[in-house]
Structure 1
Amino acid sequence: MAEPISIEGQRAWLKHYGESSRALALGLLNFVARRFRLDALRPPPHRGGAQAREVEARRLLELKAQGVNVPAVIGEGKAALLLEHTGASFNTCLREADAAGRDRLVAAAIAAIASAHRDGAYFGQPLPRNMTWDGHSVGFIDFEEDPLEVMDLDRAQARDWLMFGYGVAKYYETRPQVLEAMLAEAMEGADRPVVDHAHEVTGRLQALARLLQRAGKSGQALARAILVVHSATAFGFLALVVLSLDWLADGELDLLALLT
């Protein structure tokens, strides 16, 4: 949990790390990912308290050294970090923007992810809610987990594109071809193993996408995300894994009932 505070007139964020209670859910996700050979979607350990704080502090330092726009650590406690404010919520900016504005924001985010990948960086969950925008640059937040604990760098970068595509596809309900084009251009510069890993995932998910197209609004949105990213990059999503990762982050999982 993070709360805004003011230090000498400057905004900052105090992030508290509670104890984790997700062992059962993570175990289930890991089983599903292994069962369907979807290594790029294996969930990394989610720790709590001081351990989660240590993981995030380390990841922030690593990403900062790689030139990624992440918050500086201003201070820390046993199970808390005081973090620099890096801009408004990217998710909020997307919701409030018109079509052209969304395209500019998404293009900026794609460029930031691609640039970070070229320098050997990876994120974990670059969803809009874990990103910021200061009017000029995209920032990234929330690094309590480290995908490299359960996968290699190529798979971790493939996971980044899967998560990002899932997160922004809902904003392109009537213009999926625009998102396809932006992602396809980005994939032209991605390392071949990253594209290969993502292609391996998508081959097993087209039937699921077709089923979800007959579901409710949320199911149709997820199906659209699968098909858009598949068309652009040969990527896809295992709905149960992605939605469960989403629930682990924000406690919401309203679509799972459609899959049971």
Structure 2
Amino acid sequence: MVEPIVIDGQRAWLKQYGKGSRAMALGLLNFVAHRFQLDALRPPPHRGGDAAREVEARRLGELQAQGVNVPDVIGSGHAALVIGENGSSFNTCLREADDAGRDRLVMAAMRALAEAHSRGAYFGQPLPRNLTWDGERVGFIDFEEDPLEVMDLAEAQARDWLMFGYGVAKYYADRPDCLQAMMAEAIGTVQAPVREHVHAVSGRLQRLARVCMKLGRSARTLAHSIFIAHGATTMGVLMVVGLCMDFFADGELDILQLFC
């Protein structure tokens, strides 16, 4: 749970960590990722309480040392952190922007990702809801999981691109070519191992994307995001990212029957 507080006239955030759970869901997602060789989508452990607090505090320190725009840790307590503010909700900014403004925001986020990766950084879930915007810089939040516990750095950085691509695809339902062109430009700057990993996994999910085109609106949206990103540099992995994020949004994994 995260709630705003005020310290010495400055807005901050109190983040409290509940008990860890999701063991069954994480096991299912790990099975899918292993069975289909989708290493970048293996779910890291989801801890709770003081363990989650310690992971996030460590990750924030590491990212700050790498020059990434993340909030300061102001204080800590039992299963809680007090962190500073580093901008407004990126998701809200995307929803309120016109097409040109949305393109500028997305390109800024892609540049921030690429620059951070060039310094050896990685994030885990750089979805729009975990990004911020202060009018000049993109910021990053939410680091209670560490992908390097289950994958290497190249896979973790590939995961970042997949997560981000999935998250912004819904804002380009009417302009897929635009998103494809921006992603092609951004992915073209990443290190070869990251790009190659994304390329290899994407090919394994094209058949699944075609199946999803015959399902409901949510599945079709995910399938469209696969094809958009595939044109940029075959980022079809977005489908399974979508499955992961859909589960944590509504607690359901009905579509996993397709893998049986």
After alignment, is 5-14 or 159-168 more displaced? 5-14
Whether the aligned pair in 1 keeps the contact of 2:162 and 2:238 (CA below 8 Å) is: no
SS at match of 1:190: coil
Instruction: Report the residue type matching 1:91 in the other structure.
Output: N
Give 2:137's aligned residue: 137
1:187 is matched with which residue? Answer: 187
Cα distance in 1 for partners of 2:145, 2:124 equals 7
Instruction: Check conservation: 2:148, 2:156, Cα contact below 8 A.
Output: yes
Residue 68 of structure 2 aligns with an amino acid whose one-letter code is: V
Deviations 1:167-192 (A, max 9, x none): 00010001111111111111221111
- For structure 1, which segment, 207-216 or 135-144, has the greater mean C-alpha deviation from structure 2 after superposition? 207-216
Which residue number corresponds to residue 96 of structure 1?
A: 96
C-alpha displacement of 1:245: 3.9
Contact 1:131–1:139, Cα closer than 8 Å, also in 2: yes
Contact 2:226/2:236 (<8 A) preserved: yes
58-67 or 179-188, which deviates more: 179-188
What is the match of residue 9 of structure 1? 9
The CA deviation at 1:253 is 5.1
Over the matched positions of the two proteins, sequence identity in percent amounts to 67
The equivalent of 1:219 in structure 2 is 219
1:133-187: CA deviation from partner (whole Å, max 9, x where unpaired): 1111111000000000000000000000000000000100011111111111112
- 2:194 partner amino acid: V
For residue 217 of structure 1, report the CA deviation from its aligned partner: 2.0
TM-score, normalization by structure 1? 0.95
| Displacement of 1:214 | 2.4
1:13 partner SS: strand
Gaps of 5+ in 2: none
Q: State the secondary structure of the residue aligned to 1:5.
A: strand
Alpha-carbon offset, residue 257 of structure 1: 3.6
Q: Deviations over 1:60-87 (max 9, x none)?
A: 0000000100000000012100000111
Distance, in Å, in 1 between the alignment partners of 2:215 and 2:245 is 20
Correspondence 1:71 to 2:71 = yes
What is the aligned partner in structure 1 of residue 118 from structure 2? 118
Runs of 4+ in structure 1 over 4 Å off: none
Counterpart CA distance in 2 for 1:160 and 1:189 is: 14
Residues 232-241 or 170-179, more deviating: 232-241
Relative to structure 1, the CA distance from residue 258 to residue 40 in structure 2 (aligned partners, 3 Å threshold; closer, same or farther) is closer
Normalised by the size of structure 2, how large is the TM-score?
A: 0.95
Superposition deviation, residue 130 in structure 1? 0.5
Q: Are 1:166 and 2:166 an aligned pair?
A: yes
* Counterpart-to-counterpart distance in 2, 1:112 and 1:244: 24
Number of residues paired by the alignment? 257
What code does the residue aligned with 1:97 have?
A: A
1:30 equivalent in structure 2: 30
Letter in 2 for 1:36: F
**Cα RMSD for the two superposed structures:** 1.4
Change (3 A) 1:211 1:253: farther
